[in-house]
Amino acid sequence: MSIDMYLPSLPAIAAAFAADPAAAQYTLASFFVGLALGQAIYGPLADRYGRKPPLYAGLALYAVASISCALAPDIATLTVLRFVQATGGCAGVVIARAVVRDRFDARTSAKVYSLLMLVMGLAPILAPLVGGWILALAGWRAIFGVLALFGLVTLTLSWRYLPETRPADTVGSAGIGAALRVYGELLRDRRFIGYALSGGFALGGMFAYITGSPHVFIELYGVPAQSFGWLFGLNALGLIASSQYNRRLLTHHSADAILRRANRATVLLGLVLLAVTAGGGGGLPALLIPLFGYIAGLGFTGPNAMACALAHQGGRAGSASALIGTLQFAVATVSSMLVGLLGDGSALPMAAVIAGCGVLAYGAHRLLVGDGT
């Protein structure tokens, strides 16, 4: 919601502050930086104090930062506040994954992560549509007011209905030194890193799309801001459908086997997208077809990479989940910034970054995990 709802307003934000489009895109990149760094904090806290207290603190910070974003006086302040907003909101990312790992084994976890993709996939459909209409009716600042309310509602529901799932016999180590030792052990785990980077690079392609699509769709191809959400939602529907089909595939295939095949598909689709964009023929429809395929492929790569990475982490699931998130959103930050830095007024920078992410996702799994049996 925090990423997708305000996407239609990026051109309006740039105009309101007399800034160029790249400056507005940096408010998105700063959010990714906050997601990457903030998760590293919540993981050890969740292992030490349980899943719920860090979640409460993070959601409270998120709500306050969202209100502050609505009141930002300039683009620089908004960029900083988006970072703070992300450091609060990322508590939910870490805790949700750790809760699933607390409750289920590797194959069942992959199915549950696929089910979560159904919930998460609704945001890219609904958020830009809602954001576009809020923008038209009340301006971009009202979007952050709605996000603040969303954070408060989420905090209330979590307090009321989410049980504590950290195993009773598990107590994480206290102190920064102990947390760093756990992270060091995880970084030396070749297979864990392979799965984390494979999912992270694939996800980086999606964030390149998230960053570049407002400019490409609205400014380059003339799609109205209120209609942007429909195109964005179309790709989200592909993500939802593939993630639910992934649940069926897991009945007969391992998560790793599905991941290997999905990585091959994302490489192909990313390169087709790059070729179509570089050729310049076919207009928007020719771009949308491989883009749809790439985003839909994340319904296979995301849940299975996550389940395989967390399968053997046990009592350090919170820290492992946090490190995965940090790696993934570090990649997302770089891919997002590259789209802005390489911006030349065309769709080529977005397509090139997406294609590169597909190649790197395949390479990370192949080199660090292996081709499997």
Nearest to 346 by CA among 299, 294, 287, 277: 277
CA dihedral defined by 214, 215, 219, 222, rounded to 10 degrees?
-50
Domain count for the chain, please give it. Answer: 1
Cβ atoms of 125 and 236 within 8 Å: the answer is: yes
Measure Cα distances from 320 to 198, 250, 287 in Å: 15, 23, 36
Measure Cα distances from 170 to 123, 167, 187, 275, 318 in Å: 34, 5, 21, 51, 11
User: What angle in degrees, to the nearest 10, is found between the helix axes of 140-161 and 75-103?
Assistant: 30
Domain of 192 in residue numbering reads as: 7-161+174-369
- Between CA 143 and CA 194 the distance in angstroms is 37
Cβ atoms of 365 and 191 within 8 Å: the answer is: no
Between the ranges 96-105, 134-143, 364-373, where is the mean pLDDT highest? 134-143
User: What angle in degrees, to the nearest 10, is found between the helix axes of 21-49 and 52-70?
Assistant: 160
pLDDT score at 290: 92
> Mind listing the pLDDT tens digit for each residue in 293-349?
999 998 899 888 888 888 776 667 777 878 888 888 788 778 888 887 887 778 889
169 inside domain: no
Is the torsion defined by CA of 300, 303, 304, 309 positive or negative?
positive
136 inside domain: yes
The mean of the pLDDT values for the chain is 84
> Mind listing the pLDDT tens digit for each residue in 78-127?
999 999 999 999 888 888 878 887 777 767 777 787 777 777 767 767 78
Asked which of 166-180, 186-200, 301-315 is least confident by mean pLDDT, the reply is: 166-180
What CATH code is carried by the domain that includes residue 240? 1.20.1250.20
Nearest to 211 by CA among 338, 99, 97: 338
Cβ atoms of 266 and 361 within 8 Å: the answer is: yes
364 inside domain: yes
> Mind listing the pLDDT tens digit for each residue in 26-73?
888 888 888 878 888 887 787 777 888 999 999 999 999 999 999 999
2 inside domain: no
CA dihedral defined by 321, 323, 324, 330, rounded to 10 degrees?
140
23 inside domain: yes
- Between CA 373 and CA 355 the distance in angstroms is 27
168 inside domain: no
